[in-house]
Amino acid sequence: MLIKQRSEPLELTILKTLNARSLLNATDSVHFHNLEKGYRGEIMFDEYMKEVSNENNLILNDLLLEYKNTVFQIDSLFQFSNTLHLFEVKNFEGDFIIDDEKWYSIGIMRKEIKNPLLQLKRTESLLRQLLQELGSPFPIEAHLVFINPNFHLYKAPADHPIIYPSQLSRFREKLKSRSPVLKASHRKLAKQLLSLHMEDNPYARIPEYRYEGLEKGIVCPGCQGFYGAGSFKMPHLICNGCGVVEPYETAVLRSVAEIRMLFPGVKITTNLVFEWCGVFKSKKTIWKILAKNFKRVNQGKVSYYIDSN
């Protein structure tokens, strides 16, 4: 049973927006693309493992926890009657090798990378200590999952807790065969972990940005380019690049959410949203959408909009 859905991390969402509206430097660009690729891998894992979800297990995805001032992230946690399965999911692509317990990518040059097994062991240790403090010392089985079919690892010892793409089907069927019924203690633990989940990652790496330095317009949800001139075809916006068709009201509301995300606390006004969207010829279009979906505060030039509930 899926208890906690996975959602796109706020850090990734902000970086995606900044990447569309500005020029990220090389370091931020690499970080953004790594986050994006990692998230795609986690979504692939969720899709692959959705058949496992039933009344005999509890699944929590994307937990951000803290124990003794140390923050750690759990990609997926599957709780069965007698075991917690901890998953660290990697979307690595290409050839890799383990040499003297060090990990290297093999390409034009051999480059050392962070050892993902050490990351898994750290997460497992912190989770075990947290469970002991909560009074729920369930045994943990930790797994390092490589989800990308174009991944290969050389010289990996057989006793490592690694699941390769070719092994995922067999592993999934093994989990599906487990039938013991969950108890109240399992649901209690799931609620405890949910209550400890941190919404904001204190280690998120967001580059500095200013309103004036961001390109204005509505970003297409399909290709991440901007809706161009002539894209407004009542009642839709049509992307000249990829052909995506989106109701213009949906696009405006998405733009309002984008402004709020990038500039928390800013007052949402007709002029601000009109300038941010850029593709509309009349402010009346924006005014109608804001008036329909939000509550107006004050009148005239000093009016702004807040959530209606």
In degrees, to the nearest 5, what angle opens at C-alpha 195 toward C-alphas 193 and 199?
Answer: 100
Q: List, for residues 100-138, the tens digit of each pLDDT value.
A: 889 999 987 899 999 999 999 999 999 999 999 999 878
pLDDT for residue 157: 85
Are 131 and 138 a contacting pair, CB within 8 Å?
yes
The CB density around residue 243, as the number of other CB atoms within 10 Å, is 10
Q: Which helix (H) or strand (E) holds 203?
A: none
pLDDT for residue 233: 78
The pLDDT of 278-291, averaged and rounded, is 90
Q: List, for residues 130-172, the tens digit of each pLDDT value.
A: 999 999 878 999 999 999 999 999 998 888 999 999 999 999 9
pLDDT for residue 179: 63
Q: Which residues pair with 295 in a beta bridge?
A: 306
Neighbour-count burial of 99, counting CB atoms closer than 10 A to its CB (0-12 exposed, 13-18 middle, 19+ buried): exposed
Checking if the pLDDT of 235 tops 70, the result is: yes
Return the CA Rg of the chain. 23
Checking if the pLDDT of 234 tops 90, the result is: no
In degrees, to the nearest 5, what angle opens at C-alpha 90 toward C-alphas 87 and 91?
Answer: 140
Structure tokens at 195: 């209550």
Structure tokens at 69: 């001032």
